[in-house]
Amino acid sequence: MKQAIITGASKGLGKALALEMASRGYETLLVARSAPLLETLAAEISSRFNVKVHTLALDLAQTEASQTLYDWCQGASFQPTVLINNAGYACWGYFHTLPLSSQLSMLGLNVQGMVSLTHRILPLLQKQPKAYILNVCSTSAYQPVPTMSLYAASKAFVRSFTRSLRYELRKGPVSVTCLSPGPMATNFIAQANMQAMQETAQKFEMKAEDVARSGVKAMFAGRAEVIPGWMNALSVGFSKVLPDALLERIANNLYESKL
């Protein structure tokens, strides 16, 4: 059965991922905090594709959220073969000046929410002949990013967790893939209060639809990681050979000058 769970699905990359899965004939469960935005997307999917679509308004940073989602699946006899962990956001600014509560909330979603949901849904995926997990990461996972220290650290966690889990599950039916996009034409910058970076980001950003297509294709191909866009791939390549001290200076000059 072709059924997929997509988190952070109400807008941006999550919306693009939902549309991509629907275009491939998947019945989808769309999860995000905003019920109105989810319903709007569900209506669009229903009008464009001959697939069922469900919505669940849920804050995945809350401790009980993963159990709530699991219970919904059990009650609806929803048997997922795909889990796309996309929910997440960034905080921009100096670690010591940003409110600690805001930064911990970000970690609660980017790290704890993703881990909790994966742990709860994985047994359902393992019941399938073949299943997939796609964890949305970021090119910031590959290098230190001053002024986005905890966001970059959270994405480094996602990448490490994804690759480790992938290896643990290598003999079973579940394939795990890490999608690491760079700048995208979404609301990410506005949500992170990074409007000052908008002009710079526009020079390098990709369309969310292209990133989603690349990520889903890599997921079904069983790839460990995918970095959409040659400039993003080149940037990550440099981050693997250049000294951390130089990478820190470059990132700091890019972001701090706009702060």
Query: Out of 26, 132, 142, 151, which one is annotated catalytic?
Result: 151
DSSP state of 60: T
Q: Please say if 151 is a catalytic residue.
A: yes
Residue 240's contacts (CB-CB under 8 Å, 6 or more residues apart) are 142
H helix intervals, the chain: 12-23, 35-48, 65-75, 100-107, 114-125, 149-168, 188-191, 198-202, 208-220, 230-239, 244-256
Q: What phi, psi does 180 have (nearest 5°)?
A: -120, 85
DSSP state of 46: H
- Buried b vs exposed e over 70-94: b needs ≥16 C-beta within 10 Å? bebbeeeebbbbbbbbbbbbbbbbe
Known catalytic residues are 151
